[in-house]
Structure 1
Amino acid sequence: MATLAKAPVTSRPPSYYIRQRLRQNTPAMFGLCIILIAALLAIGGYVFMPDSTPNANNGLVQLQKKAPGFSTQVLLLRRPAEAVRKVNFISYIFSGEPSQYSELPVESYSFSGDSILVQPLRSNNAMNDQLRKFALTDVTGKQGDEAQLQQQVEQEHLVSRTFWLGTDKAGRDVMSRLILGTRISLGIGFVAVLISLVVGITVGALGGYFGGWVDKLMLFLMTVVWSVPSIMLVIAISLAIDSKGVWVAFVAVGLTMWVEVARVVRGQILSLKEKTYVEAAKVLGIPQYKIIYRHLLPNMIGPLIVIATANFASAILIEAGLSFLGLGVQPPAPSWGMMVNEGFQLIGAKSGLFLVLLPSICISLLVLAFNLLGNGLRDAYDPKIPISNA
């Protein structure tokens, strides 16, 4: 009687099952997609922005507090060659490029010989602006026939501009500032999480592994830092270095989040340092720092990744709150929290509603994405959760 051959059992590493559980978690994958889109916008930055000037700070007084979808014609006036600064592509990606033109929103225009007459767009603070006259050669920076110059002005220097998400109280494009604000939020989150991991792992590993007076000292340090509100710590750091800005926010947010990491690492090391392989490493004379960083910490990668995603979301919220209070990122750099504050000051106007709502949605969506991904990673590292069709 023939016997049926058994199918070979494929041995897979634990990382395979972690990836499978994560892929089957729809909310976590949704959060991951949102994070990847935000990271692409943060890295590309000025490439995706309608206003690619540094800090998206090209404000026009005639365009203050316009509603989403507002469109107008803009006359581009060439600036002197010595006032135009060219930048390479790398500098453009990181800090943008000053505009080669000064812009004038117009309601109507007409040509008169070698000049163009424009009616500027009425601003919110004036009933009407006076008719303005510009020489065609000044607009184009070239000499030539009047008909050719008029055609060039209409084709190259009179452009239609649409502000899909409106403008703020300084006449700046809200969409551009929201996109650049993604870089601020993700940047602060990344640096804050990095600082919290470095400090938290060091403090927690020392206290958990050595015990005794070292553990008591580390616990005292964690308790003291845990009891200090993050806002008070930011104020203290700002006063200590006599500065306010994005780097102060980076450091301050990071230094308020390491305690949770340290507590997790300490607890894990307290349970792992009694294992047989740790005792064997001590008997073999392996240095203690190698035992910690080569044998103990690699066993905590899962919990550390989960706590890092949760801290990322917390860092974004803390940064937004600090910027709202004026203690974080300083103008003209765009921050979602600062944009909410600007909209809050105009809450009685229609534009104020959009200025509060749009950055608030961005903050909520990005925080939700990190929380969903963190929950998905927590489940993915749980071996008790079954895998369908694995």
Structure 2
Amino acid sequence: MGGKTQSLKQLALQKFKHNFWGVFSFCFIIIVGLVSVFAYVLAPDHSQYANQMHLSIHSKRPGFTIDMLTLPSKIQNTQNALDKLFFGTVNTETEVPVSAFKIKDYTLLYTEYASDGLVGEEKSLDLNAFSKVEESNLVAPKTFHLGTDKYGRDVLSRVLVGARISFFIGFVAVFISLIIGLTLGSVAGYYGGKVDAVIMWVINVTWSIPTLLLVIAITLALGKGFWQVFIAVGLTMWVEVARVVRGQIISAKEMQYVTAARALGYTDYRIITKHILPNIMAPVIVICAANFASAILIESGLSFLGIGAQPPMASWGAMIKDHYNYIILGKPYLAIIPGLCIMSLVMAFMLMGNALRDALDVKS
């Protein structure tokens, strides 16, 4: 008798905690989010977009190690710490893969690396122009843990940096779809009549257009680019939110608490935002989780078609596009690695959506 009654939110949270795959997916999504934010800290290649190219070591297998000669530049890097942390370092140094080197009489003699059994060009470098600190770190071994792509870029760094686009497009797309979907769905469901008929006509027309085709049309209208893709994907995902919100509000507006709010003289805006929407958000939250996964797939498809994130920006879809032909050339991992990343993140959102659906189901 003296026990406290748990609220619906507490009961839903408790049910979610007992769902192993839901909690596991939530933790995985949090980890991917942190990786995407601090990608340049974790990536071996700190240059912007992880775009440090070494054509002589292109398409090398995972675990490939090479001695890398770093030639400092006289150009001073004026970036601040935050800029380097979140946007990468503007590359002012030159890296040269070498197969052999030795120091003799303050002169560095080195042989440039050449693949396919060829012998690289032998060159020399006067060390008198460098300080002792620079001289000691001039040549150092570098390991490419996931190998290199066809341009000789570090695949691991590209995967980490590419997580940003695939992860944050979900947030932007869901945010845009929520604003449009909640607004139109609420107005249509609450007022009904001709207003509902007009909005439903817009919804049905938008619904009838294939999603990918509509995204391509919007992208071409706005232009190719990073934010254009985000906006285009968001503008195509509001329909399902609007339909669900409309149906929920049609049922909820006949409830007694809405009638009581009207009797107290509350405005329609307050009734919708303060009373109805908080009570119908459970199915909307589940749809948002599914829309996260859909946005990731759509962006990957656009990047694969070449109208998504533009080079040299790292994107999982663009990585598959660049290397899908390597599947039959004996190096399928170049396309499989970003494909597995997309699959894992999409599956995590879908599993979390299923867990939220079960947790928020009042009948259970």
TM-score (norm 2): 0.96
Choose the corresponding residue for 1:340, options 311, 320, 325: 320
Matched, 1:73 2:52: no
Q: Which amino acid aligns with 1:84?
A: Q
Q: Which amino acid aligns with 2:351?
A: L
Deviates more, 1:14-23 or 1:339-348: 339-348
- The residue number in structure 2 matching 1:131 is 122
User: Residues 230 and 252 of structure 1 are in contact (CA less than 8 Å); yes or no, is this contact kept in structure 2?
Assistant: no
- The residue number in structure 2 matching 1:277 is 257
- The residue number in structure 1 matching 2:348 is 369
Structure 2: where are the runs of 5+ without partners?
A: none
3-state secondary structure, aligned to 1:357:
helix
Q: CA deviation at 1:233?
A: 2.0
Q: Which amino acid aligns with 1:127?
A: L
Deviates more, 1:126-135 or 1:101-110: 126-135
Separation in 2, partners of 1:383, 1:237? 39
- The residue number in structure 2 matching 1:157 is 138
Deviates more, 1:42-51 or 1:273-282: 273-282
Q: CA deviation at 1:160?
A: 0.9
Q: CA deviation at 1:45?
A: 1.4
Q: CA deviation at 1:100?
A: 4.6
What percent identity do the matched residue pairs reach? 43
Separation in 2, partners of 1:299, 1:26? 27
- The residue number in structure 2 matching 1:354 is 333
- The residue number in structure 1 matching 2:240 is 260
Q: CA deviation at 1:236?
A: 2.2
Q: RMSD of the alignment, in Å? A: 1.5
Deviates more, 1:84-93 or 1:104-113: 84-93
3-state secondary structure, aligned to 2:101:
strand
Q: CA deviation at 1:213?
A: 0.4
- The residue number in structure 2 matching 1:110 is 102
Whose Rg is larger?
1
Separation in 2, partners of 1:271, 1:185? 36
Q: Which amino acid aligns with 2:108?
A: I
Separation in 1, partners of 2:265, 2:273? 15
Separation in 2, partners of 1:87, 1:46? 14
Q: CA deviation at 1:8?
A: 1.5
Q: Within 5 A, what are the aligned runs for 1:1-390?
A: 8-80=2-74, 83-123=75-115, 127-138=118-129, 140=130, 142=131, 149=132, 153=135, 155-241=136-222, 243-351=223-331, 353-385=332-364
Cα offsets for 1:138-184 (capped at 9, x unmatched): 3x2x3xxxxxx5x963x311111000001111111000110111111
Q: CA deviation at 1:347?
A: 3.0
User: Residues 224 and 308 of structure 2 are in contact (CA less than 8 Å); yes or no, is this contact kept in structure 1?
Assistant: yes
Q: Which amino acid aligns with 1:350?
A: G
Distance 1:152 1:180, change over 3 A: closer
Separation in 1, partners of 2:55, 2:271? 63
Q: CA deviation at 1:276?
A: 1.4
Separation in 2, partners of 1:282, 1:15? 26
Q: CA deviation at 1:383?
A: 3.5
User: Residues 84 and 98 of structure 1 are in contact (CA less than 8 Å); yes or no, is this contact kept in structure 2?
Assistant: no
User: Residues 188 and 200 of structure 2 are in contact (CA less than 8 Å); yes or no, is this contact kept in structure 1?
Assistant: yes
Question: When the two structures are aligned, how many residues end up with a matched partner?
Answer: 364
Distance 1:95 1:19, change over 3 A: same
User: Residues 31 and 372 of structure 1 are in contact (CA less than 8 Å); yes or no, is this contact kept in structure 2?
Assistant: yes
Distance 1:76 1:95, change over 3 A: same
Q: Which amino acid aligns with 2:18?
A: Q
- The residue number in structure 2 matching 1:388 is none
TM-score (norm 1): 0.90
Separation in 2, partners of 1:120, 1:71? 14
Cα offsets for 1:116-154 (capped at 9, x unmatched): 110111145x8222101111123x2x3xxxxxx5x963x
Q: Which amino acid aligns with 1:375?
A: N
Q: CA deviation at 1:111?
A: 1.9
